[in-house]
């Protein structure tokens, strides 16, 4: 007699176990240890079950962080809505991004410093300007350019520079931790200051 199909609650629990298993392996052994076989063994399911819920391992890993990253996007949108001046809005957005990274180091490393192993399928490229933080920065840059407070230039390229600068100041001490960075605690705030000076129009 065939087994009755799993209920919605059973499917949700199975998916949760798979995510929990992947999260545990990642936390204890790093991204290189993530494989379909390892996750299936930890979760107590077949390898095939993983692909019932996730297209590939990259999608599974992204699902671990999706909710909290969406919360960050909403926080940044709230900051943008409350800050009329575009120059102040850009600074507040970059500073909030940095605060998120400092307050959620494990999540930040997992979600925003995630380096896909060559063994994992390459995801479909997404336009950088479609990301929430990029959209907010581009809009503010355009407003500032119209008002004459932000220098001329491609808003997309300028937004990429802002994000790359802050992200780099956060990631460098983590990725190259064999070097003792001087004033490490102020590296990101100093980077934001430097970026804002570069961004603003000169009289």
Same domain, residue pair 16 and 95 = no
Sign of CA dihedral 67, 71, 72, 76: positive
CA–CA distance from 91 to each of 72, 108, 128, 166, 170 (Å)?
A: 16, 20, 19, 11, 16
139: in domain? yes
Same domain, residue pair 70 and 153 = yes
What is the DSSP-derived secondary structure letter of residue 129? Answer: G
Pick the last residue of a domain from 54, 80, 99: 54
59: in domain? no
What pLDDT does 116 receive? 64
61: in domain? no
What pLDDT does 115 receive? 63
The boundaries of the domain holding residue 3 are 1-54
Same domain, residue pair 82 and 3 = no
Give 10-residue mean pLDDT values along the chain (203 residues).
Answer: 69 87 81 84 90 83 76 90 95 92 75 66 71 91 95 94 91 72 75 93 76
For residues 86 and 141, give the distance between their C-alpha atoms in angstroms, rounded to a whole number: 7
Same domain, residue pair 46 and 75 = no
| CATH number of the domain that residue 39 is part of | 1.10.10.60
What pLDDT does 3 receive? 59
Same domain, residue pair 93 and 171 = yes
| CATH number of the domain that residue 74 is part of | 1.10.357.10
């Amino acid at each position: 007699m065939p087994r009755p199909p799993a209920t919605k609650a059973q499917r949700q629990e199975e998916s949760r176990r798979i995510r929990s298993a992947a999260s545990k392996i990642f936390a204890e052994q790093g991204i290189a240890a993530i494989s379909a076989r390892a996750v299936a063994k930890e979760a107590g399911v077949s390898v095939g079950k993983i692909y019932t819920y996730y297209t590939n391992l990259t999608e599974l890993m992204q699902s671990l962080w999706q909710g909290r990253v969406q919360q960050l996007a909403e926080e940044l949108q709230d900051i943008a809505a409350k800050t009329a001046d575009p120059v102040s809005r850009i600074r507040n957005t970059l500073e909030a991004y940095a605060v998120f990274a400092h307050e959620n180091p494990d999540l930040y490393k997992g979600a925003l410093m995630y380096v896909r192993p060559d063994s994992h399928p390459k995801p479909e490229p997404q336009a950088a300007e479609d990301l929430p933080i990029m959209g907010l920065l581009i809009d503010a840059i355009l407003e500032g350019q119209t008002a004459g407070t932000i220098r001329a230039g491609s808003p997309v390229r300028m937004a990429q520079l802002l994000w790359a600068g802050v992200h780099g100041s956060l990631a460098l001490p983590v990725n190259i931790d064999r070097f003792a960075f001087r004033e490490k605690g102020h590296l990101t705030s100093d980077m934001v200051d430097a970026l804002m000076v570069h961004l603003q129009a000169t009289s």
